Amino acid sequence: MSIASLPPIFSYGHQLDTDPSVFGLLRDSSALAGDFDALRIRLQEDGYLYLPGYLDRGDVLEVREILTDRLAEQGLLHPDFPPFEGVSNPEKPTAFKPDLAEKNEKLQRLLYDGRLTQFYAQLFGEEIRHYDYTWVRAIGPGKGTNPHCDLVYMGRGTDQHMTCWIPYGDVSFDLGGLMLLEDSHKKSDRLRNYLERDVDAYCENRPDQVEKANREKWVFSGSLSKNPPVLRNSLGGRWLTTEYRAGDILTFGMQLVHASLDNRTDRIRLSTDSRYQRASEAIDERWIGVNPPGHTTAGKRGRIC
């Protein structure tokens, strides 16, 4: 794949410059699959591992069928097309759908049993545990996710846990997959004030913030920027992405800046975020248990400011 003939690419409503000096493709690490010493070195260098075809494509597409059937049952897909195609119902926009992970045995097995959990156990070099909460996204036409780091949403335990992003279907540039800011994991000093924040923290001595917390709102949204080109100009590096296929995985650490491309099609982009860490390290209480509290009132933490 070459970036010489790319279509116009947008993120959060902004067209990205695709000059090779500021834009590129993710580095494929599939040749290193199975060599975990080499993968750890690559992860330290790049801040991410992109492994095309690491999961069985058939297994991933079976999960897609379950997800699209449920979306159809909820009236979120266009009734004139087969559910598996994932054509959006323009009258019912959708984005974040964690309910699609509930009572979904095939999804749970794919994420938390078998090859994927074995991968993280070997990558970490010890017993692992995963978050019990699964982030399922059904992103319809429109803007993607703006730039951020995951640590501000789940930083109460270790900061060494990892995100695994999986697409459930092939993702073209127009459908809009995940993009990463090159070498941003090496710039934590510049991002320290941002990375030390917690989206569920609030000031107990500020009535306006208390009121927001009681309504399960964030005082701080977790966003790093609403303008990906300007952020890249500030931090340096290149925006990196690719066209994904069902079976690919993309995994990265908590301090890597990432965002997503806009969805410029009439279809829904399906993906999950799951998180893994060493079992020996502290874990964020918001994301474990039968019904993890997440960003609800139970997950808020007050302090005197």
Question: What percentage of residues in the chain have a pLDDT greater than 70?
Answer: 99
At residue 4 the predicted structure's pLDDT band, cuts being 50, 70 and 90, is: low
Q: Residue 1: is its pLDDT beyond 80?
A: no
pLDDT at 156: 97
pTM of the model: 0.96
* CA-closest candidate to residue 270, choices 101, 155, 122, 157: 101
Closest listed residue to residue 13, CA positions, set 227, 172, 173, 224: 227
DSSP bridge pairs for 180: 240, 258
**Residue 71 in tokens:** 């979306």
Q: What would the pLDDT profile of 210-264 be if each residue is shown by its tens digit?
A: 898 889 888 899 999 999 999 999 999 999 999 999 999 999 999 999 999 999 9
Residue 6 pLDDT: 87
Kindly state which CATH superfamily the domain 19-181+239-282 is placed in: q2cbj1_9rhob like domain (2.60.120.620)
pLDDT, one tens digit per residue, over 22-70 is 999 999 999 999 999 999 999 999 999 999 999 999 999 999 999 999 9
Q: Where are the domains of the chain?
A: 19-181+239-282
